[in-house]
Structures are given as structure tokens and as C-alpha cells.
Amino acid sequence: MIGTVVGVAALVGGVFVGVSNAAPSAGAYRLVNGASGLCLTVPGGSTSDGVQLTVSSCNGASNQTWNLSSQGSGFRLAAGNSGKCAGVAGASTSAGKAVQQESCTGASSQTWELIASGSNYQVVNVNSDKCLNTKDNSTSSGALVQQNSCDSVSTKQWSLQSAGSQPSSTPTVSPTVTPTRSPSPTPSTNPTLPSGWPSANGSQAVTSTISVSGTLDGGLKRYYASGAMGDGGQSESQDPIFELANGATLKNVIIGSPGADGIYCLGSCTLQNVWWEDVGEDAATLLGSSSSQVMTIDGGGAKSASDKVFQHNGPGTMVIKNFQVDNFGKLYRACGNCTNSYQRHVQMSNIVATYPGKALAGINTNWGDTARFSNITIKNDPSHKMIVCLKYKGVPKGSEPTEIGSGADGTNCIYSSSDIHYQ
């Protein structure tokens, strides 16, 4: 398939605009459908072969992140959650055949050319010469993705939005065709802002803590506390709904009301696309005892936290990214009065925080805590009342820590004004 990919492109507000686009560079992107604004998705964050792709509301999660790297005359598109490649089922050349994730083979049925089409791209399968489309040209969330003959129908147009990070095995390659009149545009450093809440796929009452080791994929089911677990108020004696062993992943879960004491991580863990509809005592806590443990919260969101959302009681690092939070006390608190006075670290990126909210992070500077922030959007806060980084003096268990200041200092609270956007 031959495409003429020449043009002048400009980058405005994180999306490519212009008469026509240059071919993209290798990197991590979201593919946003030109008709619906929905993102190309591996449904349920599945890691299995043969799962047909869908479009769904863009939420910044890894199952909507596509790592483009050079392959043949185009790119392979590898899903961020599974590493698997977008390909046409059975290497079919017929219209209407499913586009699915499959183990990457480098085949031409897994190779895609991105052909400039106005300000978007057609995503053309090299084996079939057919275009990535939604079934029946659907614009609904959950619509299946397939190939159809190429034309200018808007469901066959896709825009690329930078997902902000490079794939793990990054081949640095030049675009398919180099534009003749201008250099390749640099992908935006601003990924798509998290927005939109999922609807639940059924509900389940939880009467005793669910232990997770390995991966639990909730398929967007709602789990809520029942019986003696706790009422989701501010009592510290409630039980968690989920408890994750070291190395566990919990994904595609909605925590409903009551939320009790949320989720515990006993070591390194990942919460992917987890949503709290009404945060209980808090949303999730990092426990554990290793200074190298990392808890990663990627995608999802939390609403209505009377006090804390993420509580850090053990040592180590919490990474919070692609997350939205609305009406809360603190998005993150390094415990100021726990049994062990650890040094703790937090990194926040691509966060949308809607006021009211007291602070994004509360840390104890006397224990050497650090908090780093990038691409933070604060909404509904014209007077800038939400504190980005609140400093405390941590104290022994049994006392109450005191607030000692706030603001960027390059040592404990690390950010610059360009990291914080008010909307």
C-alpha cells in the first residue's frame, strides 16, 4: 500500500492539527476515533491472544496505550497492558474481519501504515490494504473494532495523542515518509487528561477481605463492603475490601459504597483502572516493609473522600498516574504518626484534581520524604486554595503531626509552576 504522507503539521493543545499530518514517530500514543473521541482499547485490560479490540472512554490506562515501533513499511501497534500486537484475525484481507490483539510476529497483518487524512490518520493494514474502523461505524463505547475498505468516513479516522512515555524496547526509527517541508512534529508531552467514569458491570457485596495474589481482573464489577467490614466512615478499625500480596495486580475494579478501609498493598502492587465511587476511611494503603517497594496506581479515579485517598504507612514509593480525584481531603498522605517513621516518596503525573480538596500530597520533611509532580490539572479552584504539597513534622505513634509549610522547595516538594495547570 502506498500513501503520500507529506504535509505541514503543527502541534496545538496536545493534538496534531494542520492541512495534513506528517507520519508519526515511534512512541506511546492513544488512538482516538475521529467520530466518537473514544480510545482504541484492549477490553478488560486482557492479556490474552484473540481478544477483539474495542473503543471506549479515554482514561489514560495502559490498555489504551499503543506503543508504535517501526515494522516493515509501517508500524506495529503493541498494547501497553499486554505487549501484544494489533492484528487482523486470521490475517484476513476481507472487510468486516476483527482487529484483535495477538502475540507479535512481525507479520504484515500486524503492520499498519498511518496515512495522513486531514488532521487525522487512516490506520491501514499492510496485508489487506483495509482501514481500522468500528463495526457498523459505531460511535458507542464498547463498539468492536474491525477492518473495512478505506474511505473518508469519520470512524475510519484516528488521531494520535502522546501517552507521554516511550515503549520499553524503543526502536528509534524515522517516520515512514519524512515530510519534505517541515521537521517531524514532536509528540506532545501532555497526555490525554483523565476524564469520565465507567459504569459498573454488576455489583458484589463483600463480607470478608478478598486476598489477591497474582492478578485479579474485576471486569469493572462494583465491590462494596457489607456486614462487619465497616460503614465507610472515618473509624480506623475497618477492614479492607481487597488485600494485595507483594507483586499483585488488581485491575478494572469499582469500589462502591460503603468503601470500608479500601485496598491494602502488603508490598509492591499495581492498581490499574480502579475506581472509588465514595471513598471510605481511605481508598488504598501501602503497608509492607521494604524501602524498594513500589505501589503503582495507573488510571481510575476517586470521589468523595472525607479525608485521605491514598495512605502510605510502609516505606518505599507510591506512583499515582493518569488519575482523577474529585472532592477529597488529601490525595496522598505519608503517615505522620505510624509505628515506624519511614522515609516515603510519591510521584504524581497526569492527574486531574477537582476542588474541593485540601492538598495533593502531605509529607513529613523531617523524615526526608519527597513528592514529585508533573502535568497536574486543578479544576474548580479559581482562588488556588488546593495545596499542592503540604509539609508536616512527623511524630511518634500516639501524637498528632503538625503542619509546617507548603510549596515547591526542590528538596522535598519537587515541581515547578509549569507542572500545575488551573482549569
Check residue 246 and report its DSSP letter: T
Spatial distance between the Cα atoms of 253 and 271, rounded to a whole number of angstroms: 9
Beta carbon nearer to ligand ADA, 220 or 263:
263
DSSP string, 140-158: STT-BEEEE---S-GGG-E
Determine contact, residues 182/10, Cβ cutoff 8 Å. Answer: no
Beta carbon nearer to Ca ion, 261 or 326:
261
Smallest gap from residue 329 Cβ to ligand ADA (A): 10
Beta carbon nearer to Ca ion, 282 or 298:
282
Spatial distance between the Cα atoms of 271 and 250, rounded to a whole number of angstroms: 5
115 beta partners: 122
Determine contact, residues 29/160, Cβ cutoff 8 Å. Answer: yes
Determine contact, residues 246/276, Cβ cutoff 8 Å. Answer: no
Find which of ligand ADA, Ca ion, none residue 347 binds, CB within 5 to 8 Å per kind. Answer: none
Which cell goes with 303? Answer: 470521589
Beta carbon nearer to ligand ADA, 51 or 255:
255
Smallest gap from residue 311 Cβ to Ca ion (A): 5
By CB under 6 A, name the one of 25, 161, 285, 374 that touches ligand ADA: 285
Spatial distance between the Cα atoms of 347 and 413, rounded to a whole number of angstroms: 10
Check residue 98 and report its DSSP letter: B
Q: Position 78: which residue type?
A: A
Find which of Ca ion, ligand ADA, none residue 204 binds, CB within 5 to 8 Å per kind. Answer: none
Ranked by CB distance to Ca ion, the top (closest) residue is 282
Query: Which residues of 227-293 form beta strands (DSSP E)?
Result: 242-244, 248-255, 263-265, 269-276, 284-286
Looking at residues 248 to 267 of the shown chain, list those that interact with Ca ion (rule: CB under 5 A): 261
Site string for ligand ADA, 232-261 (x = CB under 6 A): ----x-------------------------
From 140-148, 168-176, 277-285, 294-302, give the range in contact with ligand ADA by CB under 6 A.
277-285
Beta carbon nearer to ligand ADA, 129 or 307:
307
335 binds ligand ADA (CB under 6 A): yes
Q: Match 502492587 to its residue by C-alpha cell.
A: 269
By CB under 5 A, name the one of 102, 239, 243, 281 that touches Ca ion: 281
- Positive or negative, the CA dihedral 60, 329, 342, 312 is negative
By CB under 6 A, name the one of 1, 338, 408, 414 that touches ligand ADA: 338
Spatial distance between the Cα atoms of 270 and 76, rounded to a whole number of angstroms: 26
Determine contact, residues 131/122, Cβ cutoff 8 Å. Answer: yes
By CB under 5 A, name the one of 113, 239, 243, 282 that touches Ca ion: 282
Beta carbon nearer to Ca ion, 102 or 261:
261
From 36-44, 64-72, 280-288, 405-413, give the range in contact with Ca ion by CB under 5 A.
280-288
Query: Which has the closest alpha carbon to 187: 162, 166, 160, 170?
Result: 162
Smallest gap from residue 180 Cβ to ligand ADA (A): 60
Q: Count CB neighbours of 72 within 10 A.
A: 16
From 78-86, 251-259, 267-275, 280-288, give the range in contact with ligand ADA by CB under 6 A.
280-288
298 binds ligand ADA (CB under 6 A): no
Judged by the rule CB under 6 A, the positions of this chain that interact with ligand ADA are 236, 281-282, 285, 311, 313, 335, 337-338
Judged by the rule CB under 5 A, the positions of this chain that interact with Ca ion are 261, 281-282
